[in-house]
Chain A
Amino acid sequence: MNHATRTYDDILELLPSEENPSPMVRIRRLAPLGSVIFAKLEWLNPFGSVKDRTAWEMIRQLEAAGKLGSHTAADGQTHTRGLVEPTSGNTGLSLAAIAAARGYPMRAIVPAKVPRDKKVLLRIAGAEVDVVPDALCPLPGQDEGTIALAKTYARASSHKYAMPNQYENQANAQAHIRTTGPEIWRQTQGNVSHVFVSLGTCGTASGLSKFLKEKNPAIKVLAVQPSPGHDVPGLRNTSELGASKLFDPALIDEIIEIDYELAYSTAIELCRTEGMLAGPSSGLVFEGARRFAAREPIPCGVAIFADSVFKYASTLARHIPDLAIE
């Protein structure tokens, strides 16, 4: 592996680390005067999103525990244990690609409402895909259908499947303690003052906050969430965080709520004004940073841009009238 020449023996060597950080690029035109905001471009990770970090951390942990790959079961037969995970988006794709690189089978459990392209992408990356009907009357507190089916596979066929469980796995936050946090610290030479993140499983917010506040308790971690009723893929409003056991309000300085339509329009602004092909969750996070900067200047802000716009062309076309093509 040679980061200087960017020549590698294995795709997994491209995974981000302090020595090989995802790039941070200053937002020049759209950042309010008097504030410095960097976008951390997570779509430049090898499998296209911030979730590469989580997926890799969870798989490393399962590997270290001897839970993946070839093993001899109680019946004396040799099996290959792979992954089963409830996922509708980036985590699934990262897990599937890393599993492919490592030679593990992967089964993704996906809700029916997820757009077709995302299901096909998982298949392209080599995952078996189970589609679960959307809950007609979801009940509070109970496992969503996808989580229940994944847990069932992991228990009934434990010789075939291990379940990383991104919603409960502390490795999800650990990934950001081990990589994203140190990267930002080094990339800003310790000057980072504010970090803006979105909330999904909450691993990014929790991990970054734990690492950075230990370095400097004055660093503020701001979570940006879409208004209720949103349809921004991969994000959750705090009212929907029941599924995640990683959400710890004590680690977040403030939750900034943004009208979810702005996720789409601000993403377009970033694309057209900055040349940053940012996806809707990045649009939302930047909008939150911009609002915050209107209140007080940001000396050195970092906004986590989780993925690019490429997967969301049809989603954006539904929200932005001038994108519609007859």
Chain B
Amino acid sequence: MSQYANPDVLVSTDWLAANLNNPGQRIVEISVDPKLYEAGHIPGAVNLNWNTELQDQLRRDIASKETIEHLLSDRGVKSTDTIILYGDHSNWFAAYAFWLLKVYGHQNIKILNGGRAKWLAEESRPLVTDKPAVTTSTYKVSGVDESLRAKLPEVLAAVHGRSANLVDVRSPDEFSGKIIAPPGMNETAQRAGHIPGAKSVPWSTAVKENGEFKSPDELREIYFSRAGVVETKPTIAYCRIGERSSHTWFVLKYLLGLKDVRNYDGSWTEYGNLIGAPIER
């Protein structure tokens, strides 16, 4: 069986259980439901709130460089630390944090394969409510890597020039335009459908029932053989608000090793609100 392109970005639950107290390491939980951390987390883990901490609270944007520096300093992370991320829903927001922290240049980041669900399913794995004693640090962002992020002009150029793979990771009903957003979601758009030329690969297609990522061969089959993603072309992944797509971004860039993969964090709530932008259904 073949390997992931970058196997070192994943750690297993076995490995983490045996390495909970490694020096130079910070475990970070980032779940859709922040109550999960309060109810119980992996020993030593700190928490990040995707909604209030990783997004700019005034304008629509990712958290600023200064916010990230403040957050990581507050959680005691040093720039040389290895950050191990995990969360619920098959690491959906853990992957978002991975993407964001890569944009802000953090070197060593790993994801717990299978996330919170796999840890919980394994009955011997400890969960605690005590928050770790953290000595704050002075975290400095080393640089901002905009090449991981697609903005609207690049998306429109990809549409017109057919120069990039567009991967729509939303549900089939959102892709087909049957619905604009899943029921009950506040963030929505004026129009339903998808960006012309996009391939539909719902984000969760990349994970197994136990929450772990599928094998390299299965992932290649899903993205390259079935969906028709061309390996030699740049790729842009998008969803509704740019978070589920960071999971697919992680799979394509780190597990399958595509060179140029960007996450379009404006996603459908930007594109589907544009005047005059072409839409397919």
Residues of A within 8 A of B (CB): 112-113, 130, 132-137, 139-143, 145, 148-149, 151-153, 155-157
Contacts and interface: CB of A to CB of B under 8 A. Distances in A.
25 contacts: A113-B184, A132-B35, A135-B89, A136-B89, A136-B182, A141-B209, A141-B210, A142-B117, A142-B209, A143-B117, A143-B121, A145-B88, A148-B117, A148-B120, A149-B35, A149-B36, A149-B39, A152-B36, A152-B40, A152-B127, A153-B39, A155-B40, A156-B39, A156-B128, A157-B129
Nearest to A133: B33
B264 interface: no
A52 to B, nearest CB: 28
Contacts of B89: 135-137, 139
A144 to B, nearest CB: 11
Contact of B244 (A137, A145, A153, A157): A137
A184 to B, nearest CB: 37
A156 B129 contact: yes
Contacts of B204: 137, 139
A32 B204 CA distance: 49
Given A135-B89, A137-B204, A139-B90, A145 B33 contact: yes
A152 B39 contact: yes
Contacts of B75: none
B240 to A, nearest CB: 9
Interface in B188-231: 202-204, 207, 209-211
B116 interface: yes
A301 B36 CA distance: 46
Given A137-B171, A139-B90, A157-B129, 8 more contacts: A136-B185, A137-B202, A141-B210, A142-B209, A143-B117, A145-B33, A148-B120, A156-B127
Contacts of A133: 32-33
A138 to B, nearest CB: 9
B267 to A, nearest CB: 14
The dominant DSSP class at the A interface is loop
B88 A148 contact: yes
Contacts of A143: 117, 120-121
A82 to B, nearest CB: 15
B149 interface: no
Given A134-B184, A137-B202, A139-B207, A148 B36 contact: yes
Given A132-B33, A145-B33, A157 B40 contact: yes
Contact of A142 (B40, B127, B129, B211): B211
B41 interface: yes
A73 to B, nearest CB: 13
A116 B90 CA distance: 29
In the A-B complex, the 7 residue pairs with the closest CB atoms: A156-B40, A141-B209, A156-B127, A152-B40, A152-B39, A155-B127, A153-B39
Contacts of B209: 139-142
Interface in B38-64: 39-41
Contacts of B88: 145, 148
Contact of B203 (A137, A148, A156): A137
A238 to B, nearest CB: 18
A132 B33 CA distance: 7
A145 B32 CA distance: 10
Interface string B124-147: 001111000000000000000000
Contacts of A152: 36, 39-40, 120, 127
A137 B174 CA distance: 12
Contacts of A132: 33, 35
A142 B209 CA distance: 6
Contacts of A157: 39-40, 129
A151 B33 CA distance: 14
Nearest to A113: B184
A155 B171 CA distance: 33
Contacts of B121: 143
Nearest to A137: B204
Contacts of A130: 35
Nearest to A155: B127
B67 to A, nearest CB: 24
Nearest to B92: A137
A322 B120 CA distance: 48
A155 B119 CA distance: 11
A137 B247 CA distance: 13
Contacts of A141: 209-210
Nearest to B203: A137
Nearest to A84: B39
Contacts of B116: 148
B129 A137 contact: no
Contacts of A142: 90, 117, 209-211
